[in-house]
Amino acid sequence: MIVLFRAVVYATVFISVVLVILPARLLQWSGVSTIPSFGAQQVAGMIVALLGAALAIWCVLAFAVIGRGTPAPFDPPRRLVVRGPYRRVRNPMYIGAAIALSGAALFYGSLPMLAYVIAFLLLTHAFVRVYEEPTLRRLFGSEYERYSAAVRRWLPTRPT
């Protein structure tokens, strides 16, 4: 139960900063000050954002329940998480966040927000390559090597 609480707290901080505060500042900076008139584009944006958020939340719960840890680098899972969304792709939490951000870009019709999504993905890719993957290799050894050989980093692996 404590692990789940820690995971929710850390996820809330991450979501607040990366998916709410920074995008809100970007929208404000780019001149978006009100919600656009509500139409099909806004409905589509909300659906996309909710799907991305649901995927990210599923990942947080998988880290807590299966991995006995959190997504935070300073409180990582104790076990390698290879079930749930991690069965098909190695970084579904980041993909969920990018999908949620893409939904916001669609909702507001914001090119600067789309640029933010691209920057988020590029920075995340660098973080994964430079920090996460070497750390996982060190922590989980051959188990992670087998997993990374079988499951792709960003594109879902087909079910076997």
What distance lies between CA 5 and its chain's CA centroid?
19
What percentage of residues in the chain have a pLDDT greater than 70?
Answer: 97
What's the whole-model pTM score?
0.88
3-class SS of residue 106: helix
Give per-residue pLDDT as tens, 61-95: 898 889 888 777 777 788 999 999 999 999 999 99
- Compute how many other C-beta atoms are within 10 angstroms of the C-beta atom of residue 39: 8
Task: Give the C-alpha distances (Å, rounded to integers) separating 15 from 10, 31, 59, 134, 152.
Answer: 9, 23, 13, 25, 25
Give yes or no for residue 12 having a pLDDT over 90: no
CA distance 97 to 92: 9
147 close to 77: Cβ distance less than 8 angstroms: no
